[in-house]
Every structure is written in C-alpha cells, then in structure tokens.
A and B are shown apart, each in its own frame.
Chain A
C-alpha cells in the first residue's frame, strides 16, 4: 500500500534499480547464455578452445554451426548420466541425514531458554566463519586409516583392524552433512522459534500426548522450514566438487567433479558447458521452488 519512493524521485529510483540489475544481468544471467552457446560449439586446440558458432564463409553467407554432439555425447557415454544420477542420489541421502540431524538440534535450541538461544545459534554458525576447505580437510585427519576415529575404535576394542573410511561414499556423506548442517539448522530454527507454544498447550488440553502434539502440530507447522533447509542443502550438494575430491574415492562419479575434469584436465570447454547446462536443467525446478519460498519469507513486500 505504501511504496512511497515509487513516485518520488523517480530518476533516483531508476538509477538505484539499474545498478544492481545491470550487474546481475551482465555477470550472472548473460554468462548462462554464453554457456549455452558454447555447449553447441566444437572443441578445438586453440585459445579459446572452441570454434565460434557463427562463421562468415564469404559471399555474404553466414553459417551457424550448431554442434549437438556434446549433448549426444552425454547421452551415449554412460559415465555422464551415471554421474548425474549418483550426484542426485548422494545429495538426496546427505540432505536426508542433514534433516535427521539438524531437526533435533534446531528443535532443542528453539525450545531452550531464550537467553541461551542466541549463544547456541552463534555456536551453530561459528564454524561457518572458519574456512570450509579447512573443515573438510579436518575430516581427512579423522577418517583416514591411522586417523582419530580408527585409533579410537581400536583403542576401545570395537574393531581389530582399521576400517577404510576415507575415500569411501561414507566419507563424502559425512563431509556434506558436516559442511551443510548449519544451512539446514538456520531456516528450521527460524521457523521453530516463531511457533506459538500455546498451540501445543491447546493440543495437550484437547487430549494430545506430547508425541502426538509434535506430529500433528509442530511438524506440519515447520514444513516451510524443512523445505527451505532441504533445498538449501540439496541444490549446492548436487554440484559439490571439493568434498568428493578430498574425501571420496578418486573414481567416485559426481557431476561437479566430472565438469571440473572436463574443463581443467581435458580442456574440453564445450562438453563442460553441456554438462553444466544439463545440470542446470536438473536444478531449475528446485531452484524456482527455493526462490518462491525465499520471496514468501521476505514477505510483506507486495503490500
């Protein structure tokens, strides 16, 4: 009802809108168009290592050469679709465990003493302020064969031989859950802490046992938080590169790694672009979903 800057100082308003808008168009949207373009070109040994799509062949003829080969390649070589499926699988499993771990933590913090809440939340996000790379690195020291965890298990006698944990899928799951846990907890906490606790009292008053109250009141009301948290973990996890390369088996198929390899090792930019385009297609639906949730959360804007 009151976007008042709207009519006042229209000039200033246009400029204020234009600056971030143009920046994002140029450095975020247009690059995707270029990726799309290059995914249709042919690799060549040159700099840049791809052929242009448009070519003048003389005599006022402009030739557009669309090479669909890169996409055909992705379909023919089962390495790619296996990598896509595996990435989605790994991201889904990790998201699930993130939720399984993050929900009780977020719940416990949201139901703590108000004065303790802020400190506890600070402790949740604190690791985020230290380097992500170094935190993933720490798990190498914990998971490797003569690492902390194996030594501990040997010491308490749970195992007799060190078990191979590093360079397994397990290590990747641990790494993703560990790194992305704060992203799950934050929206969940924000949701749970807002909940009106008298609703639970009302449920109890009407005959709900505590666990029923949780299932029938708390859980449904926290769905937006669950949704936001899961998307915030799932989408980037699908394209994760650092964690599988440091903790996973070198042969593990993750699409982020495949893209990286195509680009840096094989220097095949067109195929790397095609890989990126297909990955983007997989993620466009969850991302739009996330954007809608985010906009609804920002709320009150469309008065």
Chain B
C-alpha cells in the first residue's frame, strides 16, 4: 500500500513537472533551430542569437526594462519594508485595516484595472499640477513600485511575524533607541527576506506588460511590450533565443543560490554538532559539581 502511494506521488510529480517545464524546454530547443518556421526542425544553428544581438529595438527595450526594474525594485523594497514593519509591529491603530487592504489588493487586482486607473491618475495630475509631464519612464517606475511593493510587503510582514520580537525589545532594553534597533537588529535579521523581496519585485517589473502598456508613453517601449507586439504576429525564433537567454540567467542564478544553500546547510550541521558537544561538556561539568 505504501508503495502504491509512493508510485502515485512520483507519477503526480513527473506529470506536474512535465506540464510546467515542457513549454520552457521547447522554447530553448527551437531557439537553436535554423528554420524560421519555429516548430519545423531545420538543423542546429545559433543564428537567432546573432540576430538578437543586432536587433536594436529589442536591445534598447531590454536596457530600458532593466533600468526600470532596478529602480522600481529598490524603491519598492524601501516602501514595502516600511509597510511590512507598520503592519507587523505597530499593533492595531486607526486605519490599519485600510492599509492592509491597500497592500494586499494589488496582489490580485486585474492588471487592466490597475493600469487604467494609474493612467487616468497621471493624466489628471498632469492637468492639475503639471507633473508628471507626459508619460514615460517616470510613470512606469511609479506604477511598478505600486504593484511590486505589495509583494515586498507580504514577504517582509511574514518574515517579521516569524521573528521573535523580544530581540527588538532586548536591544531597546540594552539602551538602543528605536531607529537604532531597526538598523542594528531588525534590518540585518530580515536582510535575506529583503533580498528575495527585491528579486521578486525586479522580476515582476521586468515582466509586466499590461500596466506598462497603459502608463508608457511613445518612445518608452519596454521589453515585454516589444515581445508582445512581435508574438502577436506569430512565433518568431529570435524571441525563442531571447527566452533561452532569460532562462539561462535564471538557471545560473538558481544554481548559485543552490550551492550557497548547500554550503549553509553544511555549516548549520557543523554548528549543530558544536552545540551538541557544548551541551555534553556542560552536563559533564554539572555532574562534576
């Protein structure tokens, strides 16, 4: 019976991962296809990578997207950390429910709505105060911050609620003022969560099409906008090449994190052994009196 259950588990996992990964693998395989008809194999070739390198439109868009993603992820981490701190640490206060609503709603809000509403805001603001003048990078960055800070808030809030808050009290008890407590204790401890929040925000920003399309102006086409206009017309092998490069970057990143995690795991095991030995020593010294 146990074996049957194991078999079921393995089967589910194989099918599930096949479903998740076959499309990605197919993207990669066909990026090396010399035929323009993406799904007809015409021999191995790297010519689409070459073509990609000479496609200024894509390169410019990619550069713009990276710039936007880096700026908005950084600011989203700052704002999201503040919001997470407020929600996790400040206890109940007037308006807390609204704040928590405002931070979770962007997680699920259909992007067409968010995009439209932000655009109308920018247009209205321009009418009233003359800023932001026109639409472009600034409006995209603001929109991406608003979208991604929600994700950062969730990450930070859940990390903070796992953290023992007597650590912060202890620091305060030892004479550190609240802002020092935050920078000396809270921030270093939640730093890994902030890092993953930043990466999440960066990825979401890099990937966003719908909101960006609403708030982008002429001449500020991001990578997803260029890709979308191309793939709308059908498959195109240089997009496959682009996808492969992206997957490769992610894979390398994951491999590096994986190795680091394995190292940390080993370190943790060594530390646990040390603690165990220390415990033994202590008990012995107690026995001796």
Judge whether B283 is part of the interface by a CB distance below 8 angstroms: no
Judge whether B137 is part of the interface by a CB distance below 8 angstroms: no
Shortest A87–chain B CB gap in Å is 9
Judge whether B219 is part of the interface by a CB distance below 8 angstroms: no
Shortest A215–chain B CB gap in Å is 16
Judge whether B22 is part of the interface by a CB distance below 8 angstroms: yes
Judge whether A245 is part of the interface by a CB distance below 8 angstroms: yes
Judge whether A161 is part of the interface by a CB distance below 8 angstroms: no
A139 to B83, CA, bound (A): 38
A260-303 CB mask vs B (1 if < 8 Å, else 0) is 10011000010011001001100100011011001101111111
Q: With a CB–CB cut-off of 8 A, which chain B residues contact A259?
A: 112-113, 116
Judge whether A93 is part of the interface by a CB distance below 8 angstroms: no
Known contacts A12-B178, A137-B239; is-contact A263 B206 (Cβ 8 Å): no
Pick from B37, B88, B172: contact of A4, CB under 8 Å = B172
A210 to B1, CA, bound (A): 10
* Contact, CB under 8 Å: A105 / B90: no
Shortest B53–chain A CB gap in Å is 18
A125-168 CB mask vs B (1 if < 8 Å, else 0) is 01111111111011111101011100100000000000000000
* Contact, CB under 8 Å: A127 / B214: no
* Contact, CB under 8 Å: A294 / B104: yes
Q: With a CB–CB cut-off of 8 A, which chain B residues contact A80?
A: none
Shortest B205–chain A CB gap in Å is 12
Among B104-122, those with CB < 8 Å from A are 104-114, 116-118, 120-121
Shortest B78–chain A CB gap in Å is 9
A263 to B99, CA, bound (A): 30
A57 to B105, CA, bound (A): 40
* Contact, CB under 8 Å: B86 / A6: no
* Contact, CB under 8 Å: A12 / B117: no
B16-59 CB mask vs A (1 if < 8 Å, else 0) is 11011111101100100000011110000000000000000000
Judge whether A27 is part of the interface by a CB distance below 8 angstroms: yes
* Contact, CB under 8 Å: A6 / B24: no
Pick from A109, A131, A231, A290: contact of B13, CB under 8 Å = A109
Judge whether B270 is part of the interface by a CB distance below 8 angstroms: no
* Contact, CB under 8 Å: B110 / A134: no
* Contact, CB under 8 Å: B250 / A144: no
* Contact, CB under 8 Å: A133 / B99: no
Q: How large is the interface on A (under 10, 10 to 19, 20 to 34, 35 or more residues)?
A: 35 or more
* Contact, CB under 8 Å: B82 / A241: no
Of all chain B residues, the one with the shortest Cβ separation from A26 is B121
Shortest A212–chain B CB gap in Å is 14
Shortest B235–chain A CB gap in Å is 5
* Contact, CB under 8 Å: B9 / A108: yes
Among B79-104, those with CB < 8 Å from A are 79-80, 82-83, 85-93, 95, 99-104
Shortest B259–chain A CB gap in Å is 13
B131-164 CB mask vs A (1 if < 8 Å, else 0) is 0000000000011011001000110011001000
Judge whether A17 is part of the interface by a CB distance below 8 angstroms: yes
Q: With a CB–CB cut-off of 8 A, which chain A residues contact B114?
A: 28
**Of residues B12, B13, B105, B114, which shows the largest number of chain A Cβ atoms within 10 Å of its Cβ?**
B105
Judge whether A206 is part of the interface by a CB distance below 8 angstroms: no
Among A190-233, those with CB < 8 Å from B are 210, 231-232
Q: With a CB–CB cut-off of 8 A, which chain A residues contact B247?
A: 130
Pick from B92, B104, B120, B203: contact of A290, CB under 8 Å = B104
Of all chain A residues, the one with the shortest Cβ separation from B105 is A287
Judge whether A242 is part of the interface by a CB distance below 8 angstroms: yes
Q: With a CB–CB cut-off of 8 A, which chain B residues contact A272?
A: 116
* Contact, CB under 8 Å: B104 / A132: no
Among A1-58, those with CB < 8 Å from B are 2-6, 8-9, 12-13, 16-17, 19-21, 23-32, 34-35, 38, 48
A-B CB proximity, top 3 nearest: A239-B110, A3-B91, A31-B117
Interface residues of chain A, those whose CB is within 8 Å of chain B, are: 2-6, 8-9, 12-13, 16-17, 19-21, 23-32, 34-35, 38, 48, 101, 104-105, 107-109, 111-112, 120, 122-124, 126-135, 137-142, 144, 146-148, 151, 178, 181, 210, 231-232, 235-236, 238-242, 245-246, 256, 259-260, 263-264, 269, 272-273, 276, 279-280, 283, 287-288, 290-291, 294-295, 297-303
Extra contacts besides A133-B231, A141-B38 (14): CB < 8 Å: A2-B165, A4-B172, A5-B178, A6-B91, A27-B121, A133-B227, A231-B108, A239-B109, A239-B110, A242-B210, A273-B120, A294-B107, A301-B91, A303-B91
The contact sample of 9 A-B pairs, CB cut-off 8 A, is A17-B90, A108-B16, A111-B9, A122-B254, A131-B227, A141-B27, A240-B110, A263-B116, A300-B161
